Amino acid sequence: MSLFRYANSIYGGSDTLIGANYGLLPWFALAGVALAIAHAVFKAVTAADKPR
């Protein structure tokens, strides 16, 4: 999946960059959720390893 969106050039040349690909928005959100879950799991595991 491309990072960018392109439009066909009206002059028949190469495609023109018009912006970011907003189809990636769920992936950016998922990256945040994944990092949060990874950190929570890491903290839970390291807390369980610590002597009480």
Partner 1 sequence: MTSGSAPVERIQRHKSIDRAYHWLMAVSVLVLLLTAFLPILGIKFEWVGIHWVTGLVLTVIVLMHIIRATIWQNFWAMMIDSTDLKAPFGKPGKYSLAQKLYHLAISVLILAVIATGLLMWRKVDTPFWQRDPYWLSTENWGLVYAAHGLVAMALVTMIIIHVYFALRPDEWHLTRSMLRGWITRKEYQDHHDPRRWAAKD
Contacting positions for partner 1 (CB under 8 A): 3-5, 16-22, 24-25, 28-29, 31-33, 35-36, 39-40, 43
Angle (nearest 5°) at CA 34 between 30 and 35: 120
Radius of gyration of the chain (CA): 21
Of 18 and 49, nearer to partner 1 (C-beta) is: 18
**Closer Cβ to partner 1, 18 or 51, answer by number:** 18
Nearest approach, Cβ of 48 to partner 1 (angstroms)?
14
